[in-house]
Every structure is written in structure tokens, then in C-alpha cells.
Amino acid sequence: MASRDEIVSTVKEFLSEEFEVDKSTMEPEANLQETLDLDSLDYVDLVVVIEENFGFKVAGEDFVDVVTFNDFYALVEKKLAEK
Amino acid sequence: MEHRVVITGIGIYSCLGENLSEVKDSLYKGRSGIIFDAPRKEMGFRSALTGMVKDPDLKPFLNRRQRMGMHQPAMYAYMATKEAVENAGLDIDQLSQSETGVIFGNDSTAGSIMETVDKLRKKNDTTLIGSGAIFQNMNCTVNMNISTIFKLKGINFTVSAACASGSHSIGLGHLLIKQGLQERVICGGAQEINGTAMGSFDGLSVFSTLEDTPTKASRPFDRDRDGLIPGGGAATLVLESYESAVKRGAPILGEILGYGFSSNGDHLSNPNLDGQHRSLNMSLKQANIKASEIDYVSAHATSTPVGDSIEAQAIYDILGSKVAVSSTKSMTGHECWMAGASEVVYSMLMMENDFIAPNINFENPDEISAKINIIAETKEQKIDTFLSNSFGFGGTNSSLIIKKIK
């Protein structure tokens, strides 16, 4: 299973590419939605890039507790562990 | 009170060039944009000839969310509209604070639909198609994108009328302004260029098979024509009331005098002389001018044996044997949903620069095309008034008459 550092690196890479946001703005405790400027449509594309990079699909309700980037990394860790 | 309707901006993205300057140069030099597109052979095309444009890089102009809902029709239309709006001396702030609408011609989104279906079959999950597909796939994709990007507050819909879509969009925009319902309408036509969009058309065996000589293959009105060649891109015109144009000191490039239209009520694909007669006559009546006042006819002629003959006969019957005629499809191929708008833009460039673009590859007339005055070589000539014909599948016909304002 990927380490937290590997997950952070991979996530920053694909989020930066998909949402055209500089990686340096993705601080661990930064607000994910605000930093990436996500609207409701963008969450659909977030599901797509997660599936493309990690091979699992997240549901809308999985994002309920995701506020910061750290929350997002934790979600990815949890889903990878369940695979 | 009826309003005069003028054109204050034009923009173009076509196989003749990616802006007005490049396209004017190609028109003047009689330069063809037709190529042999080898991948079409692998797809099973009978003819791999096509006009070609590249997908523009929109990153310098639009953010990610603005680009997500765009496939070829909207991408091309954005480039043409950006140029037309700038050409009209307008910006987004002015557009958003005025009564400006958009009516665009488009009749397919096959390329994006195919990509969507491929993803769905691969993933078996609709979410994994992504957020942009629905906005790319709907036939009104151009309107959705243009109206949101340019923050338009007026009329907002798509005209789907086969190969007369672009022409009808101009005609309808003109009517709304004429009636005082809109101050300004952005009109145009878009045509995707991808094999998926044209496979079923090629399947009718109506495309030219002169694949060894791509630039010689589109030969409207010529005795040896053997079929059309598809093309694409987008063309945009900014129409507005004369009062609005004068009030803001806008450049007035021309006035729309007449819009004629008709339906054949006949065959799905075959042209019909009576339908074309009625469209031409209606445009003259609406313009309230005599046929002899037309200096130039931008013909619909696509290089098909039957279609060109019917149109040549219609032009002869209604406009006579002397008026200068050419089909720019000899250089662009048939730009289908875009053609009615792009050919008005091409004619506007001719009118502005005092020349008639050649009907290239017109080497020998046939019995009917010999009756009309087809311009085979670039001709220096002032144009005060021109007429542009568009005829589409299903028997939808449109004729526009536009005059220079001196």
C-alpha cells in the first residue's frame, strides 16, 4: 500500500493538472474546495481523476467530512486500505 | 417601428485561415484548404478528403470550467466569436450590460457523443464520464458556451437546419432586431471536423473521390465535378440595430436587406428548383430591390452533379446570366452547418476589399452552368450588394441579401 507521502505526491500532481492550481497552494490544512475553486460540477471530475489514479470510485457522501487536504489524503488512505 | 439591421463585427476560424486577415488572403489567392486525411481511410471512408482546422488552444483565453463543456463546435465558435466581438469594438462588460443575444447554427455533436459513449462502455459508470460531456453533447452546445462566456442576457438558442443552419441564424437574428425585440444578436454557424461526424454522410457516396488531387477535388459548377468534400470551423457575425451601431460609433460593415426562406416539402436530400426560386424571390422582395442590383452571388454549390445544376438554373431564372457568381466551397469544401454564416463572412471580406474570390477548379461548364457568369479567377470588382444562398437536407432553403453602407 502507498505511503502517506506517496499519496500526497500523487494527489497533488493530478489535482494540479486537472484543476490548474499550483501545487504550492495545497497546504495540508488548506480548505480543499476553496483552494481548488470547486463547484458542484467539479466534484464529478474529482471522482473521475481519483478513479483514474487510484482505481476506486468515491461517492458523493464520502466527501461530507472532507474539508482540508489532509482530510482528503485520509479518505484516499481509507479507500486504498479497503481495496 | 421597424429597425434597420447592420453587421458591425465578423470573425472566422476556417480551413482558409484562423482569422479574418489569413482568410482574406486565402480567398484572394484562391488557396484551397482541402487535404487528404489518412485516418479516415482506416475508419472505412470512401473518400478521406476534408477541409481541416486544428483544435485551438483555449487555455490562454478561458479558465478550466469555461473549457470543460466545449468540444469542436464550441471551441471553433469561441475563436470566431472572440474575433467578431473585438471586430465590433465590444467587450464582455458592454455585452453583459446590453440587450445582446445569441442565435447560432449547429446541427451535430457527433465527436463528443462518440467519446462519451466510449467512456460509458469502458467504465460502465455514468459519473466517470465526467462533468463536461453533457454540455458538449447537446446540440445547443455553442449557445450554452458562448452565452455564458460572453455574459449575454438576450435571446439564446440554436438553429438546427442542416446546411442552411448558419444562414437561418443570421436571418432570425436579423428579424428579431428588425422587430425591435433585440438590440444586438451574435449569429453564426459551427461545424465539427472529425471523422465520426461525417462517416454517415460519406456513406451516401456523395463525396468526391479525387483523392490524388485534394485541392482540385472540389469543383462546383465544373463539368467534371464528382461530389462534395466536407469542411468545418466556425463563423460569427455581430448584428445590431443601425441606431445602436451609430450611437456607439461602431464600424458598420454592411446592412442586411433581405432574408428569404422556403421549404421544398419534397425529398430528404434532393434539391428542388421551385424551393430555391421561392427563397430567392422572397429575399428580393424583403430587400425591396431588383435582381439587377445584386452584384455578386455567393452560391451554395457544393460540387455535386445534381445540386449545382439546380442552383445554376435557379440563379439564371431569378437573377439572370450577368451577375457574378462563385462558390467558395471550391476552396473550403462544404462547411455544412457553418456554411451559411462563413460564406456571408467570406462575401463581407470581398465586399470590404473590392474583389470576388474565385470559384477555383471551374475549368469547363456544363450545359446549365454555362448559362451563368461563374468567376473562375480572382476578379477586382466593387461589390455594393451580394446575395448568399444556403440549401440544406430536408429541403430547407435560405437566401440573404446584404448591402454595403456608404
Residue A72 is part of a domain; what is its CATH number?
1.10.1200.10
Cβ-nearest to B128 among A18, A39, A51: A51
Q: Hey, which residues does B14 pair with through a beta bridge?
A: B17, B233
Residue B275 pLDDT: 97
- Examine the residue annotation and report whether B187 is marked as an active-site residue of this protein: no
Domain ranges of chain B: 5-247, 258-403
B125 in reach of chain A (CB within 8 A): yes
Helix/strand/coil for A26: coil
Please list, residue by residue across B260-288, b when 16 or more beta carbons sit within 10 angstroms of its beta carbon and e when fewer do. bbbebeeeeeebbeebbbbbbbbbbebbe
3-state secondary structure of A81: helix
Closest residue by Cα to residue B7 from B165, B188, B153, B261: B188
Q: Is the CB of residue B128 less than 8 Å away from at least one CB of chain A? A: yes
The H or E element spanning position B35 is strand B34-36
Q: Are B189 and B182 in contact (CB under 8 A)?
A: no
CB contact under 8 A, B68 and A57: no
Could you say which of B140, B163, B187, B336 is catalytic?
B163
Q: Which of A18, A42, A48 sits opposite B128 (nearest CB)?
A: A48
How many whole angstroms separate alpha carbon B317 and alpha carbon B148? 45
Active-site annotation holds for B174:
no
Contact A44 B68 (CB under 8 A): no
Q: What is the pLDDT of residue B189?
A: 98
Interface probe with A: pick from B58, B59, B65, most Cβ of A within 10 Å: B65
For residue B163, indicate whether it is catalytic: yes
pLDDT recorded at residue B99:
96
Cα–Cα dist A11/A3, whole Å? 12
Residues of chain B with pLDDT under 50: none
**Residues of chain A predicted below pLDDT 50:** none
* Alpha-carbon distance values, B386 to A54, B100, B152, B289, B337 (Å): 60, 26, 30, 12, 21
Residue pair B327/B232 in contact by the 8 Å Cβ criterion:
no
Residue B96 touches partner A, C-beta closer than 8 Å: no
Read off the C-alpha cell for A78.
Answer: 481509507
From chain B, pick out residues whose CB is under 8 angstroms from the CB of A39: 65
The one-letter amino acid code at B106 reads: N
Q: Which of B323, B299, B165, B278 is nearest to B225 (CA)?
A: B299
B11: number of Cβ within 10 Å: 27
Q: pLDDT tens, B329-353?
A: 999 999 999 999 999 999 999 999 9
**ipTM exceeding 0.90, yes/no:** yes
Min Cα distance B110 → chain A (Å) is 22
How remote is the C-alpha of B341 from its chain's centroid? 3
Q: For domain B5-247, give the CATH number.
A: 3.40.47.10
List CB contacts (< 8 A) between A48 and chain B. 127-128, 130
H or E element that contains B196: helix B195-202
**β strands within B63-183, DSSP E:** 100-105, 156-159
Mean of the per-residue pLDDT values of chain B: 98
pLDDT in the model for residue A60: 86
By the CB < 8 Å criterion, does B65 face chain A? yes
- Chain A interface, Cβ < 8 Å to B: 18-20, 39, 41-42, 44-45, 47-48, 51, 57
- Nine-digit cell string for B169: 441564424
User: Which pLDDT score, from 0 to 100, does residue A2 have?
Assistant: 82
| Domain tally, chain A | 1
SS3 for B209? coil
Q: Which residues contact B286 (CB under 8 A, 6 or more apart)?
A: B257, B258, B259, B260, B401
Cα gap B98→B102, rounded to integer Å? 13
Cell representation of residue B206: 456523395
pLDDT on residue A83: 80
B158 pairs with which residues across the strands? B104
| A20–B131 C-beta distance less than 8 A | no
CA distance linking residue B145 with residue B135, whole number of Å? 8
Alpha helices in B220-304 (DSSP H): 242-247, 273-287
Domain B258-403: give its CATH code.
3.40.47.10
Residue B127 to chain A, least CA–CA distance (Å): 6
C-alpha cell of residue B197: 461526424
The residue of chain B nearest to residue A18, with distances taken between CA atoms, is B64
**Residue A19 has what pLDDT?**
97
Q: Is B92 helix (H, G, I), strand (E, B) or coil?
A: helix
Contacts of A18 in chain B (CB under 8 A): 64
Supply the range of the domain harboring residue A51: 4-82
Q: Is B127 on the interface with A (CB under 8 A)?
A: yes
Q: Which residues contact A45 (CB under 8 A, 6 or more apart)?
A: A18, B68, B130, B131, B132
